[in-house]
Structure 1
Amino acid sequence: MESLNTPYRAVVIGATGGLGAAFVEHLEQDPNCERVVGLGRQSTPPVDLLDEASIEQAAIWLREQAKEWDLILDATGILTIDGNGPEKRLREIDPAIMAQSFAINAIGPALLFKHLAPLLPRNHKGVLATLSARVGSIEDNHLGGWISYRASKAALNQIVRTTALELRFSHRQAVVIALQPGTVATSLSEPYRARAPEVLTPAYSTGELLKVLDKRDAEDSGRLYDFEGQRLPF
């Protein structure tokens, strides 16, 4: 990335997932990146989206490593829960599964923002990005179904927007972005990508997403972009 201060420091949450690992690999190969830290449930320190204390402790640890982190990427998310795929109809809604979807796809990222956003630089560009989904767009919903997943990603988009509005006062050059990675060949999408018009590799998707983030500035903060750089409606 060329738009961040050089050398820059990066954090990837969900670093063992298909997309998270690909982000880490790209950043490790970027000569402008001084350090990249990959965190997840098995890392040291561990980060568990269902345990706020682990997120808080990770933020404290990161602050001990460096005063500022220029790029913070959340590559977490869940679609199939305890063997249950997305609902096709209202009658299939299970409140426990819906709650779990919100816990991982919306509340978890909100807690990441709560504790990690203060690590962004205040005097130059910093990026806080999370993986959302096109199906989380209310305006773009023309098919219905996938109720819990759609709603949790719509909630995430609202969290992104609200975080961006708050940070514009304390971190004036911060870029808070929701990203649509496309249909990617990962374990999350495996049961559902047969009908996808295009399936991307994790390396390609994340490489394009990093290019998108490199082009965004504070004027773009609080929006949803896909891997081709197109702004998508909330």
Structure 2
Amino acid sequence: MEHALVIGASGGIGRAVAQELRARGATVTTLSRAADGLDVTDAASVAQAMGRLEGPFQTVFISVGILAPEGASPEKQLSAIDPASMARVFAVNTIGVAQVLSNLPRLLPKKGRSVTGVLTAKVGSIGDNKIGGWHSYRASKAALNQIVHGAGIELARSHRDAVIAALHPGTVDTSFTEGYNPGYGKTAPDEAARNLCDVMARLTTAQSGGFYDYSGAELPW
């Protein structure tokens, strides 16, 4: 039986992915701040929570991130950047996820396929950025994409069948996107979860370290 791990399972997308993996027959272990006290910005908290886990996990999904600190909003221009707020966004979205990923190798099978999906965002693409703004969030996700790319290179040395990828889910109807209503609409969490699980199931080792959207299309860095 496949064993899966979902980190950030109390959020809308993480919860939906956990449910989708169970529906596909996996035994799912979940970790979250709400249920387990996991604080990705605290190294001791990450070490304690991850240290309690026993693998191997064939599927790992990491759904951690904030758009802006509580009470703040994404910047519309450079002059709106607040250093403390920017540092908080990076602490969660980039450094926090990197701390989680540092614990990943021991939880993956040494032999046989594994796949790790790391939730990121298309707005983290430098090449796709045509409108500016959202500086802290964009930069934190671009930095996270670099971490995932480097993780793919590193994992290939010790876990030859492991795949890791940065995944953009689309605009999903969760509390995260509350107040943001694009003209093209939002995707329901269960549909987003199906899309993401389908992409993870199709990824190959040649694609490890890449950046893909919910359809499996490769995104520009």
Question: If the TM-score is normalised by the length of the shorter chain, which range does it land in?
Answer: over 0.9
**Residues 11-160 of structure 1: pairs in structure 2 closer than 5 A:** 11-31=5-25, 33=26, 35-44=27-36, 46-63=37-54, 67-160=55-148
Deviations 1:23-54 (A, max 9, x none): 111112222x1x2011111334x321111212
CA distance in 2, matches of 1:117, 1:42: 25
8 Å contact from structure 1 (residues 183, 196) kept in 2:
no
Between the aligned residues of both structures, percent identity stands at: 43
CA-based RMSD of the aligned residues comes to: 1.1
Partner of 2:210: 223
State the alpha-carbon separation in 2 of the partners of residues 200 and 70 from structure 1. Answer: 27
Give the superposition deviation at 1:206.
1.0
Corresponding letter in the other structure for 2:220: P
SS in 1 for 2:115: strand
Distance change in 2, residues 1:191/1:117 (3 Å): farther
Give the superposition deviation at 1:113. 0.3
Q: Distance in 1 between matches of 2:179 and 2:84?
A: 21
Normalised to the residue count of structure 1, the TM-score between the two structures is 0.91
**How big is the shift at 1:198?**
2.9
Paired residues of 1:75 and 1:130 also in contact (CA < 8 A): yes
Task: Output the amino acid matched with 2:187.
Answer: L
Count of residues in correspondence between the two structures = 221
Letter in 2 for 1:156: L
Aligned residue identity for 1:201: A
Aligned to 2:201: 214
Q: Which amino acid aligns with 2:215?
A: E
Q: Which runs of 4+ in 1 moved over 4 A?
A: none
Is the contact between residue 127 and residue 176 of structure 1 (CA under 8 Å) also seen in structure 2?
yes
Q: Does the CA contact (< 8 Å) of 1:117 and 1:128 recur in 2?
A: no
For 2:7 and 2:106, locate their aligned partners in 1 and report how far apart those are by CA, in whole Å.
Answer: 16
Q: CA deviation at 1:221?
A: 0.3
TM-score w.r.t. the length of structure 2 is 0.96
Structure 2, unaligned stretches of length 5 or more? none
Q: Which residues in structure 2 correspond to 1:144-223 (within 5 Å)?
A: 144-192=132-180, 194-223=181-210
State the 1:196 CA deviation. Answer: 4.2
